[in-house]
Amino acid sequence: LWLGLRLALPCTEPAQRLRGFQWVTGDRRTDYSNWAPSGRRCGERCVTVSRELRWEERLCQAPADGFLCEYNYEGSCPRLPPAEGLPVTYTTPFGARGGDFLALPPRSTAVVPAVGLELRCDEEGESGGLRWGRATPGAWPCRLANGGCEGACGEEGGRPRCSCLDGKVLALDGRSCSSPCAGAPCQHHCVVNGTTFLCMCELGYRLAADGSSCEDDDDCAVLPNLCEQVCVNTEGGFECRCHRGYKMLEGRCRPVSRCYEAPCEQQCEDVPDGYRCGCFPGYAVDPRVPTRCLLHCNRSQCPAECDPHTLSCECPEGFLLDNDDNGGQVCMDIDECDMSFCQHNCTNRPGSYECHCHAGYQLLNQIDCVKIPEEDGEGEYSGDFGPRPQTPIPSRTPPKAEHLHPGALVGIAVGALSAALALLALGYHLAKKRCRPPATMDYKCSGPHEKEMGLQPVTS
């Protein structure tokens, strides 16, 4: 078993106390005389206990007989300050006994026979460490460790008594000092008031009837004009808000422009009931998405919109990309009327077209023409909104049918049959041409019934 000794000199000195070794704990009074016979030895040496309980010097790396017990503990009590005429004997939980220990583990005892006092290392001190105490409340003689008092120790009526500094009170053990707020039931804050305490609440709260709890104060009810427009009470405070159409700016409610959040793609204008989107020259508002803008051309030819970085050009719907005489990129209007989309009459417009019907017909799905039933009449509003052709007035009354020559009747029948066949062929031709209905181009047309070709932009 190795001992806690180290060699302070280069060599051992058999004639000296502990042969020149010193305790690693710093103890200078403990000695031992049952050493194994040995002469003077130099170099690194340690001390071990042999089977015969003799101490002997050996090399520190050499194996030693026996075993070493390890005792772990979190804290310890310092030995009591020496007091004249009051010797102390300590006993550890593992059986060690003496008066020269530097620190004692928990559950150690200190006996002072002169005053009949026995202390135990098991009380928790102010700093959280262990300290000496006893089960009996009150102080012991002040000359021994200040009587165990955490504050001051004095004599009253010949008996020791502990006292505490201002702001603290004596605990139940008669030795410890604690704040009156220790263990107080205050919900927010505790304030020492002499030897007692007062509970206080944070701003925005008030003390409840029990004197310790805190209740939220409705600031909006206490101060009605606290906010400019709307006051909302919150836990421990309040929050000012604004009515719809206003925004909190620098602590004030300011009218907010509907265009403030940039809802429009290009231009925005405030109007009494909201906002209105507009577009830059060369663009028009998309009728399907009123906040967006599309390329727009109200002539048969317009400059193309080109990106100098990608060298790609774009045209509005209903236009084709082409080169002008100077080598520039232009957008040329497509004449949709050349494609015979309309059943009767057609009017070409920039980027679109418009169908019209003859008198006695009305426009259906903005392309086809259907005859108006006889009972509806053919008044002023029959047919489409386009120009209405005028029917010439005959110079004389046509002859009655019963006076016509049979050959004339045959000619009329053949002509009617030919006209029917021609109309049937024209209908078949138009059905083949109309692969799909044209897309709406309301933003390019002036009338509510105008249509367009669904052509896509072409890049160069």
CATH of the domain at 244: 2.10.25
* Average pLDDT, integer, range 27-42: 80
pLDDT of 413: 63
CB neighbour class for 151 (10 Å; exposed up to 12, middle 13-18, buried from 19): middle
Cα–Cα–Cα angle for 438, 444, 449, nearest 5°?
A: 55
Residue 243 lies in a domain: yes
Average pLDDT over residues 218-242: 91
Host domain of residue 25:
1-68
Taking alpha carbons only, the member of 264, 288, 289 closest to residue 274 is 264
- The answer to which of 30-34, 210-214, 290-294, 432-436 has the lowest mean pLDDT is 432-436
Q: Which sign does the torsion angle of CA 335, 336, 339, 342 carry?
A: negative
**pLDDT higher than 60, residue 427:** no
Locate 416 and state its tokens.
Answer: 């009617």
Pair (158, 249) in one structural domain: no
The answer to whether residue 63 sits within a structural domain is: yes
**Domain-located, residue 264:** no
How far is Cα 220 from Cα 241, in angstroms, rounded to an integer?
A: 12
Could you tell me if 57 and 85 lie in one domain? no
**Tens digits of per-residue pLDDT, 238-277?**
999 999 878 898 889 988 888 877 889 999 998 887 889 9
Residue 120 in contact with residue 132, Cβ under 8 Å?
A: yes
Q: Which residue has the higher pLDDT, 1 or 190?
A: 190
| pLDDT: which is higher, 261 or 288 | 288
Q: Are the CB atoms for 177 and 165 separated by under 8 Å?
A: yes
Banded model confidence at residue 21, pLDDT cuts 50, 70, 90: confident
Say if 91 falls within a structural domain: yes
Residue 449 has pLDDT above 60, yes or no: no
CA 99 to chain centre: 64
Residues 50 and 88 in one domain: no
Least confident of 93-97, 387-391, 424-428: 387-391
Residues 172 and 104 occupy one common structural domain: yes
d(C-alpha 178, C-alpha 457), whole Å: 86
Q: Is residue 207 part of a domain?
A: no
In the structure, what pLDDT confidence band is assigned to residue 429 with cuts at 50, 70 and 90? Answer: very low
Residue 454 lies in a domain: no
Residue 198 lies in a domain: no
Same-domain pairing of 166 and 236: no
pLDDT at site 448: 35
Total structural domains in the chain?
4
Residue given tokens 């031992």 in the structure block:
32
Looking at the fold, whether 110 and 156 belong to one and the same domain comes out as yes
